[in-house]
Amino acid sequence: MNLGIALRKTLFKNSLVTLNEAMSLSKHLVGCFAPLGMTVWVVLLVACATPASETAAPTSVVQVAQVVATPIALSSITPTIATKATAASAPTAFVTAPAPGADAIVPILMYHHVVDLPIDATESQQTWTVVPRNFDAQMRWLARNGYRSITMAQLVAHLKNRQPLPAKPIIISFDDGWAEQFSTAFPILTKYGLSGTFFVYTHPIDHTEYMTWAQLSELTAAGMDIQSHSITHPHLRTLSPDAAFKEIAESKTTLEKRLGKPVVTFCYPFGEYDNAMIEMVKRAGYESAVTLASGYRQRADQLFLLHRIRVSYNDSLDDFGKRLP
Protein backbone atom coordinates (compact mmCIF):
# COMPACT_ATOMS: atom_id res chain seq x y z
CA MET A 1 0.00 0.00 0.00
CA ASN A 2 1.23 3.53 -0.78
CA LEU A 3 2.77 5.02 2.37
CA GLY A 4 1.09 8.42 1.88
CA ILE A 5 -2.42 6.89 1.52
CA ALA A 6 -1.94 4.70 4.56
CA LEU A 7 -0.80 7.66 6.61
CA ARG A 8 -3.78 9.78 5.65
CA LYS A 9 -6.24 7.02 6.44
CA THR A 10 -4.71 6.51 9.83
CA LEU A 11 -4.75 10.20 10.69
CA PHE A 12 -8.30 10.93 9.65
CA LYS A 13 -10.22 7.75 10.31
CA ASN A 14 -12.15 9.06 13.32
CA SER A 15 -10.71 12.50 14.03
CA LEU A 16 -8.03 14.94 12.98
CA VAL A 17 -4.72 15.25 14.78
CA THR A 18 -3.44 18.60 15.91
CA LEU A 19 -0.79 20.52 14.01
CA ASN A 20 1.77 19.95 16.74
CA GLU A 21 1.11 16.22 16.69
CA ALA A 22 1.53 16.10 12.92
CA MET A 23 4.80 18.00 13.02
CA SER A 24 6.12 15.70 15.73
CA LEU A 25 5.15 12.66 13.73
CA SER A 26 6.78 14.01 10.57
CA LYS A 27 10.07 14.62 12.36
CA HIS A 28 9.97 11.09 13.74
CA LEU A 29 9.37 9.61 10.30
CA VAL A 30 12.14 11.62 8.66
CA GLY A 31 14.57 10.50 11.36
CA CYS A 32 13.62 6.85 10.92
CA PHE A 33 13.53 6.61 7.16
CA ALA A 34 15.89 9.27 5.83
CA PRO A 35 19.07 7.16 6.30
CA LEU A 36 17.46 4.39 4.25
CA GLY A 37 16.81 6.58 1.25
CA MET A 38 12.99 6.15 1.42
CA THR A 39 10.38 8.76 0.44
CA VAL A 40 8.44 10.06 3.45
CA TRP A 41 5.00 11.63 3.16
CA VAL A 42 4.47 14.22 5.83
CA VAL A 43 0.97 15.46 6.56
CA LEU A 44 0.95 19.09 7.52
CA LEU A 45 -2.34 20.34 8.99
CA VAL A 46 -3.01 23.93 8.20
CA ALA A 47 -5.72 24.29 10.84
CA CYS A 48 -6.66 22.25 13.85
CA ALA A 49 -10.10 20.65 13.58
CA THR A 50 -12.51 19.92 16.45
CA PRO A 51 -13.35 16.31 17.31
CA ALA A 52 -15.91 14.65 15.03
CA SER A 53 -19.59 15.04 16.10
CA GLU A 54 -23.04 13.96 14.98
CA THR A 55 -23.19 17.05 12.78
CA ALA A 56 -21.01 17.43 9.79
CA ALA A 57 -17.71 19.01 10.59
CA PRO A 58 -16.17 21.63 8.36
CA THR A 59 -13.85 20.21 5.84
CA SER A 60 -10.26 20.65 6.99
CA VAL A 61 -7.72 21.92 4.51
CA VAL A 62 -4.94 19.43 4.24
CA GLN A 63 -1.63 19.90 2.45
CA VAL A 64 0.50 16.93 1.68
CA ALA A 65 4.17 17.51 1.05
CA GLN A 66 6.66 15.00 -0.31
CA VAL A 67 10.04 14.97 1.43
CA VAL A 68 12.80 13.09 -0.36
CA ALA A 69 15.60 11.93 1.89
CA THR A 70 19.04 11.79 0.31
CA PRO A 71 20.53 8.27 0.54
CA ILE A 72 23.48 8.07 2.92
CA ALA A 73 26.13 5.40 2.66
CA LEU A 74 26.22 3.22 5.75
CA SER A 75 29.89 4.00 6.31
CA SER A 76 29.07 7.72 6.42
CA ILE A 77 26.87 7.34 9.46
CA THR A 78 29.54 5.56 11.42
CA PRO A 79 30.79 7.79 14.24
CA THR A 80 34.10 9.41 13.38
CA ILE A 81 36.80 8.92 16.01
CA ALA A 82 38.95 11.98 16.35
CA THR A 83 42.65 11.27 16.02
CA LYS A 84 45.24 13.01 18.10
CA ALA A 85 47.30 15.45 16.11
CA THR A 86 50.95 14.56 15.96
CA ALA A 87 53.76 17.02 15.59
CA ALA A 88 55.58 16.97 12.28
CA SER A 89 59.04 15.44 12.40
CA ALA A 90 61.67 18.09 12.98
CA PRO A 91 63.98 18.55 10.00
CA THR A 92 67.51 17.26 10.44
CA ALA A 93 69.86 20.03 11.54
CA PHE A 94 73.01 20.44 9.51
CA VAL A 95 76.48 21.78 10.16
CA THR A 96 77.86 24.08 7.49
CA ALA A 97 81.48 23.86 6.42
CA PRO A 98 83.97 26.01 8.33
CA ALA A 99 85.41 29.15 6.84
CA PRO A 100 88.72 28.69 5.02
CA GLY A 101 91.42 28.08 7.59
CA ALA A 102 88.92 27.40 10.37
CA ASP A 103 88.39 24.12 12.24
CA ALA A 104 85.59 21.63 11.70
CA ILE A 105 84.41 19.98 14.91
CA VAL A 106 84.21 16.31 13.89
CA PRO A 107 85.52 13.75 16.39
CA ILE A 108 86.90 10.47 14.99
CA LEU A 109 86.83 7.77 17.65
CA MET A 110 89.50 5.07 17.40
CA TYR A 111 88.96 1.47 18.50
CA HIS A 112 91.00 -1.68 17.97
CA HIS A 113 89.92 -4.75 19.98
CA VAL A 114 86.43 -5.07 21.47
CA VAL A 115 86.86 -8.04 23.84
CA ASP A 116 87.07 -8.93 27.51
CA LEU A 117 90.64 -9.14 28.82
CA PRO A 118 92.07 -11.44 31.50
CA ILE A 119 92.78 -9.89 34.88
CA ASP A 120 96.51 -9.97 34.19
CA ALA A 121 96.23 -8.09 30.86
CA THR A 122 99.22 -5.92 30.06
CA GLU A 123 99.06 -2.15 29.83
CA SER A 124 99.54 -2.39 26.08
CA GLN A 125 96.57 -4.74 25.75
CA GLN A 126 94.40 -2.39 27.80
CA THR A 127 95.47 0.60 25.71
CA TRP A 128 94.13 -0.94 22.49
CA THR A 129 91.08 -2.75 23.86
CA VAL A 130 87.56 -1.85 25.00
CA VAL A 131 85.35 -4.30 26.87
CA PRO A 132 82.11 -5.05 24.97
CA ARG A 133 79.76 -3.81 27.73
CA ASN A 134 81.63 -0.49 27.81
CA PHE A 135 81.47 -0.20 24.04
CA ASP A 136 77.72 -0.79 24.19
CA ALA A 137 77.34 1.91 26.85
CA GLN A 138 79.42 4.34 24.77
CA MET A 139 77.32 3.80 21.66
CA ARG A 140 74.13 4.19 23.68
CA TRP A 141 75.50 7.45 25.10
CA LEU A 142 76.26 8.75 21.60
CA ALA A 143 72.79 7.90 20.33
CA ARG A 144 71.04 9.45 23.33
CA ASN A 145 73.10 12.62 23.06
CA GLY A 146 72.24 13.20 19.42
CA TYR A 147 75.48 12.25 17.67
CA ARG A 148 75.15 11.23 14.01
CA SER A 149 77.73 8.87 12.53
CA ILE A 150 79.18 9.79 9.13
CA THR A 151 81.67 8.29 6.69
CA MET A 152 85.15 9.44 5.76
CA ALA A 153 83.85 10.48 2.33
CA GLN A 154 81.31 12.77 3.99
CA LEU A 155 84.02 14.39 6.09
CA VAL A 156 86.22 14.91 3.04
CA ALA A 157 83.33 16.47 1.08
CA HIS A 158 82.63 18.73 4.06
CA LEU A 159 86.21 19.98 4.27
CA LYS A 160 87.04 20.12 0.54
CA ASN A 161 83.71 21.01 -1.06
CA ARG A 162 81.88 22.66 1.86
CA GLN A 163 79.14 20.01 1.86
CA PRO A 164 76.96 20.19 5.00
CA LEU A 165 77.01 17.48 7.67
CA PRO A 166 74.34 16.35 10.13
CA ALA A 167 74.41 18.13 13.47
CA LYS A 168 76.88 16.60 15.96
CA PRO A 169 78.72 14.48 13.37
CA ILE A 170 81.05 11.73 14.53
CA ILE A 171 83.14 8.97 12.91
CA ILE A 172 83.48 5.68 14.80
CA SER A 173 86.61 4.02 13.45
CA PHE A 174 88.18 0.60 13.97
CA ASP A 175 91.72 -0.39 13.02
CA ASP A 176 93.18 -3.63 11.66
CA GLY A 177 90.04 -5.65 10.80
CA TRP A 178 89.87 -7.92 13.85
CA ALA A 179 87.14 -10.58 13.84
CA GLU A 180 85.37 -9.22 16.91
CA GLN A 181 84.80 -5.94 15.13
CA PHE A 182 82.29 -7.86 13.01
CA SER A 183 80.95 -10.28 15.63
CA THR A 184 80.72 -7.83 18.56
CA ALA A 185 80.99 -4.19 17.47
CA PHE A 186 78.86 -4.41 14.32
CA PRO A 187 75.67 -5.65 16.08
CA ILE A 188 76.04 -2.97 18.75
CA LEU A 189 76.44 -0.24 16.14
CA THR A 190 73.30 -1.34 14.30
CA LYS A 191 71.36 -1.59 17.57
CA TYR A 192 71.82 2.13 18.09
CA GLY A 193 71.46 3.17 14.46
CA LEU A 194 75.14 4.03 14.04
CA SER A 195 77.69 3.21 11.37
CA GLY A 196 81.40 2.49 11.65
CA THR A 197 84.52 3.06 9.56
CA PHE A 198 86.81 0.02 9.39
CA PHE A 199 90.47 0.54 8.46
CA VAL A 200 91.63 -2.90 7.34
CA TYR A 201 94.91 -4.16 6.00
CA THR A 202 94.33 -6.68 3.28
CA HIS A 203 96.89 -9.46 3.77
CA PRO A 204 95.29 -11.16 6.82
CA ILE A 205 91.71 -11.03 5.50
CA ASP A 206 90.20 -14.54 5.59
CA HIS A 207 92.78 -15.60 8.18
CA THR A 208 92.19 -16.61 11.81
CA GLU A 209 91.32 -13.71 14.15
CA TYR A 210 90.57 -11.39 11.24
CA MET A 211 87.43 -10.63 9.27
CA THR A 212 86.67 -12.44 6.03
CA TRP A 213 85.85 -10.95 2.65
CA ALA A 214 82.29 -12.17 3.09
CA GLN A 215 82.02 -10.28 6.37
CA LEU A 216 83.48 -7.14 4.86
CA SER A 217 80.93 -7.40 2.05
CA GLU A 218 78.18 -7.71 4.63
CA LEU A 219 79.45 -4.63 6.45
CA THR A 220 79.49 -2.71 3.18
CA ALA A 221 75.94 -3.79 2.32
CA ALA A 222 74.82 -2.60 5.77
CA GLY A 223 76.16 0.90 5.13
CA MET A 224 79.45 0.55 6.98
CA ASP A 225 82.56 2.30 5.66
CA ILE A 226 85.64 0.26 4.67
CA GLN A 227 88.95 2.11 4.24
CA SER A 228 92.61 1.18 3.84
CA HIS A 229 95.30 0.42 6.42
CA SER A 230 97.97 -0.91 3.96
CA ILE A 231 98.63 -4.51 2.87
CA THR A 232 100.72 -5.92 5.74
CA HIS A 233 100.71 -3.14 8.38
CA PRO A 234 104.46 -2.41 8.11
CA HIS A 235 106.59 0.44 9.40
CA LEU A 236 106.40 2.31 6.11
CA ARG A 237 109.39 4.54 6.72
CA THR A 238 111.67 1.50 6.95
CA LEU A 239 110.70 0.29 3.46
CA SER A 240 112.07 1.34 0.13
CA PRO A 241 109.99 3.99 -1.63
CA ASP A 242 108.67 1.45 -4.13
CA ALA A 243 107.72 -1.06 -1.45
CA ALA A 244 106.07 1.62 0.68
CA PHE A 245 104.06 2.92 -2.27
CA LYS A 246 102.94 -0.61 -3.10
CA GLU A 247 101.63 -1.06 0.47
CA ILE A 248 99.68 2.18 0.18
CA ALA A 249 98.36 1.91 -3.39
CA GLU A 250 97.62 -1.80 -3.80
CA SER A 251 95.56 -2.04 -0.61
CA LYS A 252 93.28 0.67 -1.99
CA THR A 253 92.99 -1.06 -5.36
CA THR A 254 92.23 -4.45 -3.77
CA LEU A 255 89.50 -3.11 -1.47
CA GLU A 256 87.80 -1.19 -4.24
CA LYS A 257 87.86 -4.19 -6.57
CA ARG A 258 86.53 -6.67 -3.99
CA LEU A 259 83.94 -4.43 -2.32
CA GLY A 260 82.93 -2.15 -5.18
CA LYS A 261 83.18 1.07 -3.16
CA PRO A 262 85.61 4.00 -3.37
CA VAL A 263 88.39 4.06 -0.79
CA VAL A 264 89.18 7.69 0.05
CA THR A 265 91.16 7.51 3.31
CA PHE A 266 94.41 5.87 4.39
CA CYS A 267 95.26 5.00 7.99
CA TYR A 268 99.02 5.20 8.66
CA PRO A 269 100.23 1.91 10.22
CA PHE A 270 101.43 2.57 13.77
CA GLY A 271 100.50 6.20 13.19
CA GLU A 272 103.87 6.77 11.52
CA TYR A 273 104.25 9.20 8.64
CA ASP A 274 106.51 11.87 7.18
CA ASN A 275 106.28 14.21 4.23
CA ALA A 276 107.37 11.47 1.83
CA MET A 277 104.61 9.16 3.09
CA ILE A 278 102.00 11.91 2.78
CA GLU A 279 103.03 12.52 -0.84
CA MET A 280 102.77 8.78 -1.59
CA VAL A 281 99.29 8.66 -0.11
CA LYS A 282 98.22 11.58 -2.30
CA ARG A 283 99.82 10.01 -5.39
CA ALA A 284 97.97 6.74 -4.75
CA GLY A 285 94.67 8.61 -5.10
CA TYR A 286 93.55 9.00 -1.52
CA GLU A 287 91.82 12.19 -0.45
CA SER A 288 92.68 12.07 3.27
CA ALA A 289 94.55 10.15 5.95
CA VAL A 290 94.13 9.60 9.70
CA THR A 291 96.79 9.66 12.40
CA LEU A 292 97.06 8.82 16.10
CA ALA A 293 97.24 12.51 17.02
CA SER A 294 94.56 13.27 19.61
CA GLY A 295 91.77 15.79 19.07
CA TYR A 296 88.50 16.44 17.29
CA ARG A 297 89.27 19.61 15.32
CA GLN A 298 89.79 18.85 11.65
CA ARG A 299 91.08 21.27 8.98
CA ALA A 300 90.74 21.39 5.21
CA ASP A 301 94.44 22.22 4.89
CA GLN A 302 95.35 19.14 6.95
CA LEU A 303 93.29 16.45 5.24
CA PHE A 304 96.22 14.01 5.45
CA LEU A 305 96.77 14.65 9.16
CA LEU A 306 93.30 14.09 10.59
CA HIS A 307 93.06 13.67 14.37
CA ARG A 308 91.39 10.85 16.29
CA ILE A 309 90.37 10.07 19.87
CA ARG A 310 91.60 6.74 21.23
CA VAL A 311 89.17 4.85 23.46
CA SER A 312 90.76 2.42 25.92
CA TYR A 313 89.88 -0.35 28.36
CA ASN A 314 89.76 1.67 31.57
CA ASP A 315 87.89 4.70 30.22
CA SER A 316 84.74 5.35 32.25
CA LEU A 317 81.61 6.62 30.53
CA ASP A 318 82.23 9.96 32.19
CA ASP A 319 85.78 10.02 30.76
CA PHE A 320 84.36 9.13 27.36
CA GLY A 321 81.81 11.96 27.37
CA LYS A 322 84.28 14.61 28.55
CA ARG A 323 86.55 14.00 25.58
CA LEU A 324 83.82 14.82 23.07
CA PRO A 325 82.53 18.26 22.03
On the question of pLDDT at 5 being above 60, the answer is no
On the question of pLDDT at 170 being above 90, the answer is yes
Confidence of residue 109 (pLDDT cuts 50, 70, 90): very high
pLDDT of residue 156: 97
Mean pLDDT, the chain, integer:
81
pTM of the model: 0.72
On the question of pLDDT at 247 being above 50, the answer is yes
Which amino acid would we find at residue 90? A
Q: What percent of the residues of the chain are helix, what percent strand, and what percent coil, each to the nearest 5?
A: 40, 20, 40
On the question of pLDDT at 238 being above 90, the answer is yes
Torsion of CA 306, 324, 155, 188, to 10 degrees: 110
pLDDT of residue 92: 56
The model's pLDDT over 270-323, given as tens digits with 9 standing for 90+, comes to 999 999 999 999 999 999 999 999 999 999 999 999 999 999 999 999 999 999
On the question of pLDDT at 35 being above 50, the answer is no
Cα separation, 114 vs 131, in Å, equals: 6
Confidence of residue 98 (pLDDT cuts 50, 70, 90): confident
The model's pLDDT over 195-233, given as tens digits with 9 standing for 90+, comes to 999 999 999 999 999 999 999 999 999 999 999 999 999
Q: Where are the alpha helices (DSSP H) in the chain?
A: 3-12, 19-33, 123-127, 132-144, 152-161, 179-180, 186-191, 213-221, 241-259, 275-283, 317-322
On the question of pLDDT at 169 being above 60, the answer is yes
219: Cβ contacts below 8 Å, ≥ 6 apart = 182, 186, 196, 198, 211, 226
The model's pLDDT over 40-70, given as tens digits with 9 standing for 90+, comes to 333 333 333 344 433 343 444 333 333 333 3
The model's pLDDT over 179-203, given as tens digits with 9 standing for 90+, comes to 999 999 999 999 999 999 999 999 9
In the chain, the domains with their CATH numbers are 3-73 (no CATH), 102-322 (3.20.20.370)
Q: What Rg value do the Cα atoms of the chain yield, rounded?
A: 40
The model's pLDDT over 118-150, given as tens digits with 9 standing for 90+, comes to 999 999 999 999 999 999 999 999 999 999 999
